[in-house]
Each structure stands twice: as structure tokens, then as C-alpha cells.
Amino acid sequence: MTKPRNPSRRSFLRSAGVTLALPFLGSLRPRRAMAQAVAPPSRLLVIYTPNGMNMADWTPATTGKDYVLTPILKPLSTIKEDVLVLTGIDNRPAETDDFGQHAPATAAFLTCHNVAKSQKIKNAISMDQVAANAIGGATRFASLQLGTHGGSNAGGCDGGYSCAYTRNISWANATTPMPKMIRPRAVFDLMFAGTDPNATVAERERRRVYDRSVLDAVLADASSLESKLGTSDRQKLDQYMTGVRELEMRLDEPAATCSIIERPGDDPNFPTKVRLMLDLMALAVECDLTRVVTFMMGNSISGQSFPFAGVPEAHHAVSHHRRQAANLAKLTKIDRWEVKQFVYLVEKLKLIQDDETSTALDNSLVYFSSEIADGNTHTNRNLPILLAGRAGSVRPGRHVRYSGAPLANLYISMLKHIGVSVSSFGDNGTGYIGKLT
């Protein structure tokens, strides 16, 4: 027989709902334990948009606090003080001289690693998964991966590159892309499995009393065994009981207010799906179900049309604008609509109160960008980047211009600001980027 692994306290708590036949208590956030204040958690949220931007209508003319919002960035007017506009950052590991530039750029979006043209997968761990490995153990889900479009990872896409490179931005390791969920209803059901998110306060209290009685019984049974066990087994039992007591303390905490959306429908249209996914991202933060989320607002080389934004043509075709004024105007409309979605999420995070003095946005970093800068030239330099939030003393409300700074260095700095220390990242990340505080 295989020797059973001795689980850590963290592993126990993450699986306690199964071990003790309890549902996950999504309405309880670990804010205080035994009257001792705990600092609000840091979070990382990522929004990927395909096909680049109309950089002429994206880039502010001046830097600092008094920069003027450009046609694409005008939706930031309500949250300008909460956002950094970052320009002059390059992702050189994404570059290729061969045909098919979207795939390697998307593969490197969060990994900053150069991938070879092959249907055999070989990438690297993504920045979000570095974060999930460090801070994901405190929540039910170490991370969530969301998207609007699916597709198999098998086969070749974009000039012979693996389709895994065009359909994933989150990577557990070199050969394992993290599968994303593309149906809002399935995401909702996963987040609230075993619970009734629409329960009243009285119903939640009855659930809490019941859960507490179950834990009391578990502790009583475990205590009765202690005198009959050897030293090794007593240590294991002590670890088990410590985990139960920590869960018990969570049940004694005041319940956090967790706003609930209605269970999504089965097949929403594209703009509705995007908004639902953003609602679910905010809800996952508010209910402390996870602290790391990535969202692909389309796969690489997306042909999604945007009639609701005044552009009935396919996005990828429009992004190959050939410097034609009509195409650039259409691209600006698409890009502005995408920025509006970013604003929608940021405003929702601002409404979530973490404690008496801070909001979820204050304790988060929300990253928005594309795999390329310009869809016509497929350049990976001077990427369009927005960074909202104040986690780790980030100072938003400015346009900051760099001169060819590696994207990997931005990721090292972002990780630092959410409490994750790494000295290098990707193919060319060697240190902090600076200017964020």
C-alpha cells in the first residue's frame, strides 16, 4: 500500500469542505480570527485583449498626472486616479521573424518566453501562476482562468504554431496550459458548488450553527482517540485538529456581505458574456474564493465582430488596417469598447469594501493589455498597458513612459507588490522596473 501523505494545515483547510462533508462557506471571508486584525489580501486580475490597438489613438502625448486622455482611453475619465497608463514596455521574447506572429506573442503574454514554431508544446510558467503558487493556498481556488472563446489545444494554428499558444495565456509549467472556462453559468456553478448563494441572513446563520455543531462533533471524536495513539499518529491528529480549529474560528467570524448575481443564462451573446465574466471576477474577489484571475476577452487572432460598438466587421481583419483611415477609426471603436470593460471591472472593485479604510481595488492590481501593440505590424514593442489598483503602494493616476523596459521586469515588480518575491522571470526579466510607486 502507498504510504498516505501527511497533509499540511493549508492543504487541510483547502479540502476541509470535502473532508468534513461541509460545503464551502462562500459567504464567509477570513477577515478576523480570534479578534486579531488581519490585513486585507492582495489580488492579481488580468484582462487580455487580442489583436493589438490603434496606438496613435491610445498613446497620451504627455506623461505624469496631467496627461490628456486619448480617444481610446477616454472611458478612463471616471477612474483616471486609479490607473497607471504604461508605455515604452517591450516583450522581446515574443518576437519572431517567421510567419505567424500572434501565436508566439500570445504564448509569451504572461510568460515572457520565446516559443518555437511547433505543434509540440514548450512554453514556461506564467506570471499569474507564480502568484497562484505563492498566495493561492489561502482560498478555495488557487486561481481562475476565464475566457469568451474555447477551442482545442491540439493541432496547428497561426502558421504552424501549436493552437495551445493562441488559446491560452495562463501556464502551470512549460507543457501545461491552464484550461479556461468560457461559460458564465459553469463558472457560477463552480464558484458556489454546495452552497446557496441566494440564502437569506437567517438561512446562512442556521447553516453556520449546523456547521459549527459538525465541527464540535469532529473535535470530540478526535479528542477521544488521542490517548490510544502512538507519537507519530498523535502528531498527525494534532495537525488535523489544528486545521479543524482554524476552520472553527472562521465560522465564528462575522459574515462578510457578499453580493450575489443571478445564475447566468446558458448562451449569452458576446457583450453579455464579457460583462458576466467581469461580474464573476468581482464576485470571486468579494467572496474571497480566489485572489488570482485571468480573463481572455477573445482568443488570439480573434475574428469576433463588434456591431454593438459600430463595427460589424471581424476584429482581426480590421486590425490589419494598412494605415487606412476607415479601418483605424473602426479599430479605435473596438479598442475603446474594450477599455470600457476594464473600467467596468475596476469600478466594481472600488465598491467592494475590504475593511474600514480600504477597498478591493486598493489591495489589487488589475492588468490590461494585448499580445501585440499594432495589429498591422505585429510589433511586440511599446505595448498598450493599463495597471489599476494600489496593492503594495503602487501609485496610480499617471502616464509613465519607459524606454524599452522588459515586460518581464514589470511582472517581477507586480509580483513584488502583491507580496511575491522573485529575482528573475521569463527569458529576460532581471529586476524591478521602477516608477510604479
- The confidence band for 100, taking pLDDT boundaries of 50, 70 and 90, is confident
pLDDT at position 4 = 40
Q: Which CATH architecture has domain 43-197+258-417?
A: 3-Layer(aba) Sandwich (3.40)
pLDDT at position 162 = 93
Please tell me the least confidently modeled range out of 191-200, 298-307, 427-436.
191-200
pLDDT at position 15 = 40
Q: Which three cell numbers stand for residue 240?
A: 488535523
- The confidence band for 10, taking pLDDT boundaries of 50, 70 and 90, is very low
pLDDT at position 239 = 60
pLDDT at position 267 = 86
Question: What order do you get walking across the sheet with 83-90 strand by strand?
Answer: 144-147, 292-296, 43-49, 364-370, 385-388, 83-90, 398-406
User: What's the whole-number average pLDDT of the chain?
Assistant: 85
pLDDT at position 39 = 86
pLDDT at position 256 = 46
pLDDT at position 367 = 98
pLDDT at position 23 = 30
Please name the residues in contact with 251: beta carbons below 8 A apart, sequence gap of 6 or more: 25, 28, 208, 211, 212, 215
314-341 pLDDT tens trace: 999 999 999 999 999 999 999 999 999 9
38-88 pLDDT tens trace: 789 999 999 999 999 999 999 999 999 999 999 999 999 999 999 999 999
Please tell me the least confidently modeled range out of 14-28, 37-51, 344-358.
14-28
Nearest to 169 by CA among 297, 39, 42, 334: 297
Is the model's pLDDT at 160 over the cut of 50? yes
Rounded mean pLDDT of 224-237?
Answer: 66
- The confidence band for 98, taking pLDDT boundaries of 50, 70 and 90, is confident
pLDDT at position 238 = 66
pLDDT at position 199 = 61
Is the model's pLDDT at 371 over the cut of 80? yes
pLDDT at position 17 = 39
- The confidence band for 210, taking pLDDT boundaries of 50, 70 and 90, is low
Is the model's pLDDT at 195 over the cut of 70? no
Is the model's pLDDT at 25 over the cut of 50? no
What are the residue ranges spanned by the domains of the chain? 1-38+198-256, 43-197+258-417
pLDDT at position 20 = 37
